[in-house]
Amino acid sequence: MSAVRWIILCTLLLIYKGTAQFLDSKCATVEYKGSIRTPWLAEIQTKSKLICAGSLINKRYVLTAASCIESQTQLVVRLGNFNGSLSDNSYSDNTYEEYPVSEAYVHKSYSADTHEHNIGLLKLPTAVKYKQHIKPLCITENVNNINKSLTFKILKKNAKIGFWESIKSVFGSSCADIKKQEYVSSDLIGSPFSKPIFYWGVSRNVQHGILSFSNPETYVYTNVIGYTDWIILNVLEIDIIMTNSRGVN
């Protein structure tokens, strides 16, 4: 990246921090009409196979885990009427929309061995038209008193500590290992963890985490708040490149 472009990016980032609360001002509110409660959820596919989940964060980008998209080709993003479950069969031809992925961006420090910096972006070839069942999840920089460590953990509500050891004693290690893997893999990597914040009289859904990996007792999330600058700079950089390619000064 040239020095001039870097200065432009830094300037735009400072302007964003000083003026904007959300990456997309039309991001989903907590209360809205319709039966779909998570209109930002994205299904990430390769060769018609569901591999991960993600979140629509503006008209051109889906946020997900780097482990989902590293070394993958011909990715497709499906939006609309998706509840984040491997067993979801609620699609109809009139509800979902599919977009081929034009670019995939993985954090340069991502480690497959340690799951560190497990964050990535998918760029869509055309802008998404927001609808009742397709809306972005809020990404915010201006959040006070938020833990900005790079990961956080959440205990599973229905976790049964010691349950898998008891299965081994009854059914054997091989069967227990298979059932344990099925249970862990039922959680789609890349799924967003969100919490509402109240802003100017409206409660908004804000993304706090990306599911990085899990075990039978714990979800481990990449902390989105700790990577807001990375997200914004990547989005702004691509916008600048597109503008320059059109010859606009």
CATH number of the domain residue 230 falls in: 2.40.10.10
Question: Does 125 score more than 60 pLDDT?
Answer: yes
CA atoms within 13 A on the CB side of 240: 18
Question: Does 31 score more than 70 pLDDT?
Answer: no
Q: Is residue 165 part of a domain?
A: no
Q: What confidence category does residue 181 fall into, taking pLDDT thresholds of 50, 70 and 90?
A: very low
Output the pTM of the full model: 0.74
Copy the structure tokens of residue 177.
């290992």
Q: Is residue 9 part of a domain?
A: yes
To the nearest whole number, what is the mean pLDDT of the chain? 75
Q: Which helix (H) or strand (E) holds 228?
A: helix 228-245
Give the phi and the psi of residue 227 in degrees, each rounded to 5: -120, 15
Q: Is residue 204 part of a domain?
A: yes
Copy the structure tokens of residue 165.
């050891």
Q: Is residue 175 part of a domain?
A: no
pLDDT at 108: 94
Q: Is residue 194 part of a domain?
A: yes
* First-to-final CA distance of the chain: 18
The boundaries of the domain holding residue 215 are 3-155+182-245
pLDDT at 242: 41
> Do residues 152 and 222 make contact, with C-beta atoms less than 8 angstroms apart?
no
Q: Is residue 168 part of a domain?
A: no
Q: What confidence category does residue 183 fall into, taking pLDDT thresholds of 50, 70 and 90?
A: very low
pLDDT (mean) for 196-212: 84
> Worst-scoring range by mean pLDDT, 49-63, 152-166, 169-183, 231-245?
169-183
Of 83 and 201, more confident: 201
Q: Distance between CA 145 and CA 130 in Å, rounded? A: 31
Q: Is residue 170 part of a domain?
A: no
| Count: domains in the chain | 1
Q: What confidence category does residue 75 fall into, taking pLDDT thresholds of 50, 70 and 90?
A: very high
Copy the structure tokens of residue 16.
């964003």
Q: Is residue 203 part of a domain?
A: yes
